């Protein structure tokens, strides 16, 4: 029974989901209640996760489920991200007339899936978690089912994601076939290396994972899905699933296949460079902010992968630092997006930001901070994220990757500057509403302050992350 | 000295800016007084710092060292004879900029003052940081306020210019970031003082030098990457041009002295011909281009390129005279170009035109203006008795020591400089008063007089009595050169000096 303590967060969140479902069925007009309850339950799950004794890594179910520093941190990130998404989306959902009980429950389901993914130490467990979160995400993408774009994005995401899951599963079967086990530890120890079958297996799984984090060339779904989904779901897409997929990436590459680093490193470097360049170049022509965020997140994933391709603990840590800061930045950006509302209608193109600084100085200042941070200009948090990644990249003398990455930040700076130009240099338009919910204001203020003041205490996050030693 | 005087210099303007940010009204004059007060206090502190400063040693003084990025970077600041002058230049120019907004900035005054104050913090930070990452942080962060200053309050093509300024500089700097991180892995630290002692392995120096050079060359700006400067200068509001010309360009010159010479002596020796040629091209080409300009601001911008050509030339002569001359030239150019831009600003506010042919015969309408304008024109072309002379003279002296031909070509630059400046002055101030609108414009008002005289006094003072400047920098420059030659002999025996 002692062991079960370790997965108490997962157990608790599963029970919560069932409880909320039943409550939703029997109690009429309970959307608001369920929404608030789900936030509370999510926070309790977070506390339970924090409570886990992380100093001694625990393994469960025949070593197929791991609770360690990595899993705890990533779960906390996922849960906090999910809680923020839920809390700032209430008003948007109400106005879009999709304030239904299924929304928070689906988000909880996908968070459960992600938690399973994060802790998985076994291909089967990992796949189950992945499917659980994906299924919930398909529905969420098409949640605004009366809108054509939303349904389209859901369908698109479903078809492409199913394809990638197929590839991934095929990779799993290859690896099982050539190593005799699905458990990461056993694969690692019993591996007669250099077998082509295993390499193929790794490639297929990498393709599937790259799809989930929308790395180039498996990014095609991202812009359409980001644009079509309801904004709050886009926010969820942009920040939360990437954390889980990144964790699997780390575990999968560094636990069983660390010896085959020569085989997978070029692939990850390629994914990284392609994502950085493509994310920077393709975003230039975009007019829709959500679409732009999709391309920018492709670019940012490139930097995360750059840290991951290094093959050292520092590299992994820098990726985790990067994704955490990236989460905060995107949270702030979407808080701003959710504030662009006039007469119960939301606006989401860049032109709608025109002259925002004259009517909404505080909002524009926050956007300014967030956008410069996304561009990686010091002294904002985004700069430190890049600094750590490139520090670990250059340690291994991977200068080409570093220079390409930094040059693509210059290209990327262009489109962030373009948004700032629209906000600050262009003519003003009609005012937006200012009756935002308190949560929205809090999340915007919090993320802006975190980004802006990060340089005062830059070591805190790194200290937490530096406890994660996979290799 | 336990009181963190340098950090307070860096922080004070930011605190003023925060105060303004939380004040309610966006256009009142109180904001201006707050900004003026903070920047003036900062000026007094920096003068006091100069008074406390001990010029008889080249070790860094007022050093603060705090843990910042654990196990990676320390927040380390400190000054020597070279940096203190730039800090004083910054704290002198900023209050003058703030006074000058009276007539120029009509909209969003408060935001403008915030940008200027934050800019001041960052510029002081650049000059006193003793760690490469801290330096990079300040160096790059300055892009944000300057981008906004050009973009929000600039002229017609402000967006284009702001983007060009930002992207050019960023492109140059990212390579420097790669170099900085590489230095961390090569030498194990980014602390400049330690790096001076340790030295950097010769085989990496060339690439690292080029990476730093890419950043500083854009910022200086050197030919052929100078094209952002005329655009940025022309479109920026007067105060923005002043900051750009007086201080931002000096960051690069400072960087060359502090980093390129200090950290990479072997590479500097190798690349001296490159810097010489680019500097000479800049001097001659920019002077010729300046001759052809019809826009006053553009003319002064090109003259800045030429003057900075002298600076880079002087630095890479690696002689006592050359480097001292470069530093004095930078200080002098900081004062003079600031004053010239302010002079252009004065007539621009009255006539809303920067074209030279709008004017002519100003002497009969604005006699006081004409006198001051003449003073700065003469200082810009390096007339003896102004600070401009000393800098150019020392640079040429250093150049003659090192390479006769280079010095001869550079001397032509002095003649061209006289040509375009005097011609500008003749066309604007003398001649017949053709444009009847000019008759109505008033002479300098009190605040303009105050600003221009506060720049004129040091220009004249240091022109006649440069002792305080030389005294301050002498030991630091001397030790820098000694260290340079020492390292060169240690690590690069095959390169002769």
DSSP state letters, B311-356: HHHHHTT-SHHHHHHHHHHHHHHHHHHHHHHHHHHHHHHHHS--BG
| Inter-residue contact A150 to A142 (CB < 8 Å) | yes
Candidates B181, B182, B183, B225: best to mutate against A (most CBs of A within 10 A) is B181
Rounded-to-integer distance, Cα B176 and Cα B184, Å: 12
Distances (CA, A) of B412 to A40, B264, B290: 77, 31, 14
Structural domain includes residue B382: yes
A406 and B152 within 8 Å at the Cβ level: the answer is no
Chain A's closest residue to B160, CA to CA, is: A421
Other Cβ atoms closer than 10 A to A467: 14
Chain A: nearest CA to B169, how far in angstroms?
Answer: 10
Q: What is the largest CA-CA distance in chain A?
A: 67
B178 and A399 within 8 Å at the Cβ level: the answer is yes
Nearest Cβ partner of B182 from A394, A407, A421?
A394
Mean pLDDT of chain B: 87
User: B150: which chain A residues are within 8 Å (Cβ-Cβ)?
Assistant: none
The per-residue pLDDT for A194 is 64
Structural domain includes residue B496: no
The per-residue pLDDT for A447 is 93
- Asked if the peptide bond before residue B221 counts as cis, ω within 30 degrees of 0, the response is yes
Express each pLDDT in B385-408 by its tens digit: 888 888 888 999 999 888 888 888
Mean pLDDT of B158-168: 90
Where is A386: in which H helix or E strand?
Answer: helix A381-395
Between chain A and chain B, the number of residue pairs with CB atoms below 8 A apart is 80
Rounded-to-integer distance, Cα A105 and Cα A99, Å: 12
Chain B: nearest CA to A166, how far in angstroms?
Answer: 40
Domain boundaries, chain A: 261-471
Where is A308: in which H helix or E strand?
Answer: helix A289-308
Candidates A406, A454, A465: best to mutate against B (most CBs of B within 10 A) is A406
The per-residue pLDDT for B496 is 44
Structural domain includes residue B497: no
Structural domain includes residue B141: yes
Rounded-to-integer distance, Cα B229 and Cα A201, Å: 54
Helical residues (DSSP H) of A180-288, grouped into ranges: 184-189, 196-212, 221-228, 231-254, 261-282
User: A413: which chain B residues are within 8 Å (Cβ-Cβ)?
Assistant: 166-167, 170
Chain B: nearest CA to A414, how far in angstroms?
Answer: 7
Total domain count for chain B?
1
| Inter-residue contact A10 to A115 (CB < 8 Å) | yes
Q: Is the pLDDT of residue B495 over 50?
A: no
Candidates A387, A397, A454: best to mutate against B (most CBs of B within 10 A) is A387
Rounded-to-integer distance, Cα B454 and Cα A282, Å: 51
* Tokens at A134, concatenated: 């994906």
Chain A: nearest CA to B230, how far in angstroms?
Answer: 20
Chain A: nearest CA to B216, how far in angstroms?
Answer: 17
Rounded-to-integer distance, Cα B465 and Cα B448, Å: 26
Chain A's closest residue to B211, CA to CA, is: A403
Mean pLDDT of B326-340: 91
Chain B: nearest CA to A378, how far in angstroms?
Answer: 5
A424 and B70 within 8 Å at the Cβ level: the answer is no
> Cα A344 from chain centroid?
29
Structural domain includes residue B329: yes
User: B68: which chain A residues are within 8 Å (Cβ-Cβ)?
Assistant: 458-459
Candidates B66, B129, B163, B170: best to mutate against A (most CBs of A within 10 A) is B170
Chain B: nearest CA to A95, how far in angstroms?
Answer: 33
* Tokens at A15, concatenated: 């029970």
Q: Mark the ranges of chain A whose per-residue pLDDT is less than 70.
A: 1-2, 53-56, 191-194
User: A462: which chain B residues are within 8 Å (Cβ-Cβ)?
Assistant: 69-70
Chain A: nearest CA to B263, how far in angstroms?
Answer: 20
Chain B's closest residue to A389, CA to CA, is: B181
> Cα A150 from chain centroid?
20
Rounded-to-integer distance, Cα B23 and Cα A226, Å: 39
B140 and A406 within 8 Å at the Cβ level: the answer is no
Nearest Cβ partner of A394 from B70, B159, B178?
B178
Pairing state between β B73-79 and B61-69? antiparallel
Chain B's closest residue to A412, CA to CA, is: B167
User: B162: which chain A residues are within 8 Å (Cβ-Cβ)?
Assistant: 421, 425
A417 and B185 within 8 Å at the Cβ level: the answer is no
Region of B435 please: left (phi>0), alpha (psi -120 to 50) or beta. Answer: beta
User: A384: which chain B residues are within 8 Å (Cβ-Cβ)?
Assistant: 69
Rounded-to-integer distance, Cα B286 and Cα B416, Å: 10
Name the packing angle between helices A123-141 and A102-119 (round to 10°): 160
Residue among A226, A235, A239, A212 nearest A150 (CA):
A226
A459 and B143 within 8 Å at the Cβ level: the answer is no
Termini Cα distance of chain B: 40
Nearest Cβ partner of A414 from B70, B167, B185?
B167
User: B167: which chain A residues are within 8 Å (Cβ-Cβ)?
Assistant: 410, 413-414, 417
């Amino acid at each position: 029974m002692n062991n079960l303590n370790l997965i108490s967060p997962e157990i608790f969140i599963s029970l919560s989901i069932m409880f909320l479902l039943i409550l939703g069925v029997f109690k009429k007009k309970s959307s608001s209640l369920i929404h608030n309850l789900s936030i509370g339950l999510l926070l309790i799950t977070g506390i339970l996760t924090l409570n886990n004794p992380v100093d001694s890594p625990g393994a469960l179910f025949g070593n197929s489920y791991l609770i360690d520093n990595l899993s705890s941190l990533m779960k906390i990130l996922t849960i906090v991200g999910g809680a923020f998404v839920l809390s700032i989306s209430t008003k948007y959902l109400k106005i879009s007339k999709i304030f239904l009980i299924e929304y928070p429950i689906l988000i909880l389901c996908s968070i459960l899936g992600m938690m399973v993914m994060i802790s998985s130490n076994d291909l089967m467990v990992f796949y189950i978690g992945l499917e659980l979160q994906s299924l919930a995400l398909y529905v969420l993408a098409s949640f605004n089912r009366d809108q054509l774009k939303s349904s389209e994005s859901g369908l698109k995401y479903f078809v492409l994601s199913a394809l990638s899951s197929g590839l991934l599963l095929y990779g799993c079967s290859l690896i099982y076939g050539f190593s005799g086990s699905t458990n990461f530890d056993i694969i690692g120890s019993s591996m007669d290396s250099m077998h082509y079958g295993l390499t193929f297996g790794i490639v297929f799984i990498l393709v599937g994972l790259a799809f989930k984090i929308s790395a180039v060339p498996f990014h095609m779904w991202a812009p359409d899905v980001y644009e079509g989904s309801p904004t709050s779901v886009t926010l969820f897409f942009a920040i939360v699933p990437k954390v889980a997929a990144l964790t699997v990436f780390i575990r999968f590459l560094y636990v069983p296949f660390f010896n085959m680093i020569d085989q997978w490193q070029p692939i990850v470097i390629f994914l990284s460079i392609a994502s950085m360049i493509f994310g920077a170049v393709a975003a230039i022509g975009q007019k829709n902010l959500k679409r732009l965020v999709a391309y920018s997140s492709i670019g940012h994933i490139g930097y995360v992968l750059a840290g991951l391709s290094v093959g050292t603990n520092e590299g992994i840590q820098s990726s985790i630092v990067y994704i955490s800061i990236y989460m905060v930045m995107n949270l702030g950006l979407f808080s701003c997006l959710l504030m662009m509302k006039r007469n119960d209608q939301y606006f989401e193109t860049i032109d709608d930001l025109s002259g925002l600084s004259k009517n909404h100085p505080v909002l524009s200042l926050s956007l300014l901070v967030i956008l410069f941070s996304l561009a990686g200009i010091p002294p904002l948090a985004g700069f430190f994220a890049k600094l750590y990644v490139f520090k670990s990249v250059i340690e291994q003398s991977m200068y080409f990757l570093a220079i390409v990455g930094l040059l693509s930040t210059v290209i990327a700076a262009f489109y962030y500057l373009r948004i700032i130009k629209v906000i600050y240099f262009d003519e003003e338009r009609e005012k937006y509403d200012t009756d935002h919910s308190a949560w929205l204001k809090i999340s915007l203020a919090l993320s802006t302050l975190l980004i802006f003041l990060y340089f005062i205490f830059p070591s805190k996050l790194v200290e937490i992350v530096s406890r994660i030693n996979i290799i | 000295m336990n009181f963190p005087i340098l950090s307070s210099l860096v922080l004070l303007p930011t605190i003023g800016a925060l105060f303004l940010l939380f004040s309610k009204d966006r256009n009142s004059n109180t904001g201006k007084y707050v900004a003026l007060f903070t920047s003036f206090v900062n000026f007094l502190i920096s003068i006091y710092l100069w008074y406390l400063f001990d010029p008889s040693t080249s070790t860094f003084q007022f050093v603060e060292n705090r843990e910042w990025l654990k196990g990676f970077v320390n927040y380390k600041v400190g000054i020597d004879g070279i940096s203190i002058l730039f800090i004083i230049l910054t704290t002198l120019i900023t209050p003058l900029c703030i006074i000058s907004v009276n007539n120029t900035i009509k909209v969003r005054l408060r935001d403008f003052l915030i940008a200027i104050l934050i800019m001041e913090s960052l510029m002081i930070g650049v000059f006193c940081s003793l760690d490469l990452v801290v330096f990079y942080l300040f160096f790059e962060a300055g892009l944000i306020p300057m981008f906004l200053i050009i973009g929000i309050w600039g002229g017609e093509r402000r967006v284009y210019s702001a983007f060009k300024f930002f992207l050019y500089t960023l492109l140059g700097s990212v390579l420097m970031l790669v170099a900085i991180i590489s230095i961390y892995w090569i030498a194990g630290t980014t602390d400049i003082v330690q790096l001076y002692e340790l030295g950097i392995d010769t085989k990496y120096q060339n690439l690292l030098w080029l990476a730093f050079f890419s950043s500083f060359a854009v910022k200086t700006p050197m030919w052929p990457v100078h094209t952002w400067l005329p655009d940025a200068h022309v479109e920026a509001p007067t105060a923005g041009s002043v900051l750009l010309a007086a201080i931002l360009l000096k960051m690069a010159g400072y960087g060359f002295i502090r980093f390129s010479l200090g950290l990479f002596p072997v590479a500097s020796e190798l690349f001296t011909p490159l810097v010489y040629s680019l500097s000479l091209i800049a001097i001659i080409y920019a002077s010729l281009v300046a001759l052809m300009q019809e826009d006053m601001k553009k003319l002064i911008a090109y003259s800045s390129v030429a003057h900075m050509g002298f600076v880079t030339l002087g630095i890479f002569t690696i002689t006592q005279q050359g480097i001292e001359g470069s530093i004095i030239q930078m200080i002098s150019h900081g004062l003079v170009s600031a004053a010239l831009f302010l002079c252009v600003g004065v007539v621009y506010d009255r006539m809303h035109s920067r074209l030279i042919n709008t004017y002519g015969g100003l002497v009969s309408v604005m006699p006081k203006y004409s006198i001051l304008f003449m003073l700065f024109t003469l200082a810009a072309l390096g007339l003896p008795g102004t600070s401009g002379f000393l800098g150019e003279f020392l640079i040429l002296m250093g150049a003659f020591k090192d390479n006769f031909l280079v010095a001869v070509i550079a001397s032509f630059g002095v003649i061209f400089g006289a040509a375009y400046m005097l011609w500008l002055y003749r066309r604007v101030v003398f001649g017949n008063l053709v444009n009847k609108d000019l008759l109505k414009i008033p002479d300098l008002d009190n605040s303009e007089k105050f600003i221009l005289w506060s720049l004129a006094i040091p220009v004249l003072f240091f022109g006649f009595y440069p002792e305080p400047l030389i005294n301050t920098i002498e030991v630091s420059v001397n030790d820098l050169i000694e260290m340079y030659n020492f390292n060169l002999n240690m690590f690069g025996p095959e390169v002769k000096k």
